[in-house]
Structures are given as structure tokens and as C-alpha cells.
């Protein structure tokens, strides 16, 4: 989707001192693209304008307010402390203006939405909700960005997505977490694995087995580490994968035992391909959250996406 091109109008928002503000929305748009790409040329290309025009607009913004927003080193522009602070305000303001423009043009919320989702949620849940969302917003463009939980949090904080969906808590002063649904991790093995007949694992079994797990900073791995905290130094982590399907395939091939969300495993368990194993007195439950940037202007589409997710969960 092409970014909207705002006319070069100097908006006369008045401050208490009576001085009109002298920036344009186009300057803010250029500032944010440069902050994203850390390069004038790539920012100009993304905005379909010349490099010289983008550079001039950015320099005019800085000179007008006698402030440097970037540290300039060779061909790279890195946001300085002032730039980081103003970027968040500019993102919020521009999102508000885009929403306002959509309402002026269409008299309704079109519903364009960028969603960041962790791997389990993105691959096994988020796509379920698209039909219900698009039935309400038939003209909407929905972009789904799938990554691990820390990367999704970074996307939310950097205004790269409108809403994040993550597997567990994350802490940041600019992040708002809204509880969404409960989940449970399941330890499992192949149907022909020796532990399949045993079903319940002792501490000795846990220490002896080769484990095939998600990467260390994933939501699933954090829940696993918390549940088995006392045994972690003695656990044999044989393989780590970023994707759930790789873990399932490795376990099914007999390389070890794994631990993933019930959402990921349910069909395989029902088919008898994989066998769930019980770990007595180990809490493997966790909460999924919606993650929002506190400073981002709230739009109707984000609220409707959250409601769609909740409504469809109740029907499943």
C-alpha cells in the first residue's frame, strides 16, 4: 500500500504563546521514513520523491526549530536522543491524521491494519480471524508480520504495526498489555518413543531425555524455563528451532522430546502421530496478550480486531 501524500500545508496549530507551528505533515512523514531506513535515499524512494527534496525537507524541519534529530555518520543517519523522543510523538500524530483523512474521504473507518504476531499465534490463530474481520471491513488491507515475541514487541514500540499479539508478558513503560486468552504448553514425544508408553515423566526422565525446544527468547521457551526452573542446569537441550513445525518433525523422527503449545499439537495428538506426556506439579500454562504502543492514536480497526479475536475464540 502506498503511503498517503499529504499536501504541503503549514498547519496553524496555536500554542499558548500564540506562535503558529511551522512544520508540515509531509515533513513529519519524511522524518519518520528516514528514521525507519536510516538513509535519505531509501526514505525518498519509499515516498516516491527525489532524494534532494527529501533531504531539503528534513533539513528545513531541523533548521526551523534549531534542532538536530539525527547523528550523521557517513551515509547513515541514526536517531539521537531528541529524535527518538520526537519520533514517537510524530508517529502518533501522523496515525491520527491518516485516520482523520480516511474518515473525510470515506465517511467511515476503512479498516487497514498491520498486525504483529508471534510464531504460534501468527501461524495457528491470527489467520482464523481474518474472515470475520474482513466481513466487517471488506475494503481493508491487513498485513500480518510474524516474528518471535521480542521482535513483535519491538515492532509495536517502533510503530511498525498497529497491534501486537504475543505469548507472555513483556515489560516496557510505553507498552500496554491487554490479556486475551489462556494457553497451555504440552510436552510430547513420537508415538514409537519409549516414553510414549510411560506417559508420566519423573525428574530422572526429564534430565535424561534429549529436548528439542524453541529458541531461548521465544514465549514458549520462557514458559518452559519457568516451569522447569529447578531442573534447567541438568536438562539436555539437544536442538533449538525457531519454527514449531521443525520441532514437531524432529520429535516425530525420534530425535528427542519437545514442548509446544496445545494449539500447535492438537491435530497431531488427535491423529496419534504425537503423544502428550505429563509433568506432575509443573505449571505449563500462560497468557496470550494484545500489545499496544501507549502513545499510538487508537483507531476503531484495532478495537474491532481485538473483539473479533475474542468472539471467534468463544466459538471455537
Q: Is residue 8 part of a domain?
A: no
Q: How far apart are CA 234 and CA 119, in angstroms?
A: 28
Same domain, 292 and 176: yes
What pLDDT shows up at residue 97? Answer: 83
Say if 18 falls within a structural domain.
Answer: no
Which of residues 90, 106, 122 is at a domain's end? Answer: 106
> In angstroms, rounded to a whole number, what is the distance separating the alpha carbons of residues 213 and 251?
10
Domain of residue 95, CATH code: 1.10.10.10
Q: Say if 121 falls within a structural domain.
A: yes
158 sits in the region (left: phi over 0; alpha: psi -120 to 50; else beta) called alpha
Q: Residue 95, CB half-sphere, CA atoms under 13 Å: how many?
A: 25
For residue 205 the three cell numbers come to 526422565
CA atoms within a 13 Å half-sphere pointing along the CA-CB vector of 30: 27
User: What is the per-residue pLDDT across 27-57, written as a single tens digit (0 to 9) for each?
Assistant: 999 999 999 888 889 999 988 899 999 999 9
Give 241's pLDDT tier (boundaries 50, 70, 90). very high
In a domain, 166, yes or no: yes
170 with 193, same domain: the answer is: no
- pTM of the predicted model over 0.75: no
Residues of the chain with pLDDT > 90: what percent? 61
Q: Looking at the domain assignment, is residue 16 inside a domain?
A: no
93 located within any domain: yes
Structural domains of the chain, count? 3
Q: Give phi and psi for 46, each to the nearest 5.
A: -65, -25
Of 13-27, 41-55, 141-155, least confident by mean pLDDT is 13-27
Q: 186: Cβ–Cβ under 8 A, 6 or more apart, which residues?
A: 259, 260, 261, 262, 265, 269, 276, 277, 284
Question: What CATH number has the domain bearing residue 219?
Answer: 3.40.190.10
**Whole domain around residue 143: which residue ranges?**
113-181+287-315
Tens digit of each residue's pLDDT (9 = 90 or more) over 60-114 = 999 988 999 999 877 788 899 999 889 988 888 888 887 777 666 665 567 889 9
Amino acid at each position: 500500500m502506498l503511503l498517503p501524500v499529504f499536501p504541503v500545508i503549514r498547519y496553524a496549530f496555536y500554542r499558548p504563546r500564540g506562535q503558529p507551528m511551522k512544520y508540515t505533515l509531509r515533513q513529519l512523514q519524511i522524518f519518520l521514513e528516514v528514521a525507519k531506513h536510516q538513509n535519505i535515499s531509501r526514505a525518498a524512494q519509499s515516498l516516491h520523491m527525489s532524494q534532494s527534496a527529501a533531504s531539503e525537507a528534513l533539513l528545513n524541519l531541523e533548521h526551523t526549530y534549531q534542532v538536530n534529530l539525527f547523528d550523521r555518520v557517513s551515509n547513515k543517519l541514526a536517531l539521537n536522543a531528541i529524535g527518538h523522543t520526537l519520533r514517537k510523538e510524530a508517529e502518533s500524530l501522523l496515525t491520527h491524521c491518516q485516520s482523520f483523512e480516511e474518515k473525510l474521504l470515506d465517511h467511515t473507518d476503512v479498516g487497514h491494519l498491520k498486525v504483529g504476531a508471534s510464531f504460534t499465534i501468527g501461524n495457528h490463530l491470527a489467520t482464523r480471524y481474518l474472515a470475520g474481520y474482513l466481513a466487517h471491513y471488506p475494503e481493508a488491507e491487513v498485513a500480518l508480520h510474524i516474528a518471535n515475541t521480542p521482535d513483535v514487541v519491538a515492532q509495536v514500540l517502533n510503530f511498525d504495526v498497529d497491534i501486537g499479539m504475543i505469548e507472555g508478558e513483556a515489560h516496557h513503560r510505553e507498552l500496554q498489555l491487554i490479556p486475551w486468552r489462556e494457553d497451555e504448553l504440552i510436552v510430547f514425544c513420537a508415538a514409537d518413543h519409549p516414553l510414549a508408553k510411560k506417559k508420566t515423566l519423573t525428574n530422572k526422565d526429564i534430565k535424561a531425555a534429549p529436548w528439542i525446544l524453541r529458541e531461548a527468547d521465544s514465549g514458549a521457551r520462557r514458559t518452559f524455563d519457568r516451569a522447569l526452573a529447578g531442573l534447567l542446569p541438568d536438562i539436555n537441550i539437544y536442538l533449538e528451532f525457531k519454527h514449531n513445525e521443525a520441532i514437531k518433525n524432529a520429535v516425530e523422527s525420534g530425535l528427542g522430546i519437545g514442548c509446544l503449545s496445545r494449539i500447535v499439537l492438537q491435530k497431531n495428538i488427535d491423529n496419534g502421530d504425537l503423544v502428550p506426556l505429563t509433568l506432575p506439579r509443573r505449571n505449563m500454562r500462560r497468557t496470550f496478550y494484545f500489545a499496544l504502543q501507549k502513545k499510538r492514536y487508537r483507531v476503531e480497526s484495532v478495537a474491532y480486531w481485538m473483539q473479533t479475536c475474542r468472539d471467534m475464540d468463544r466459538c471455537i
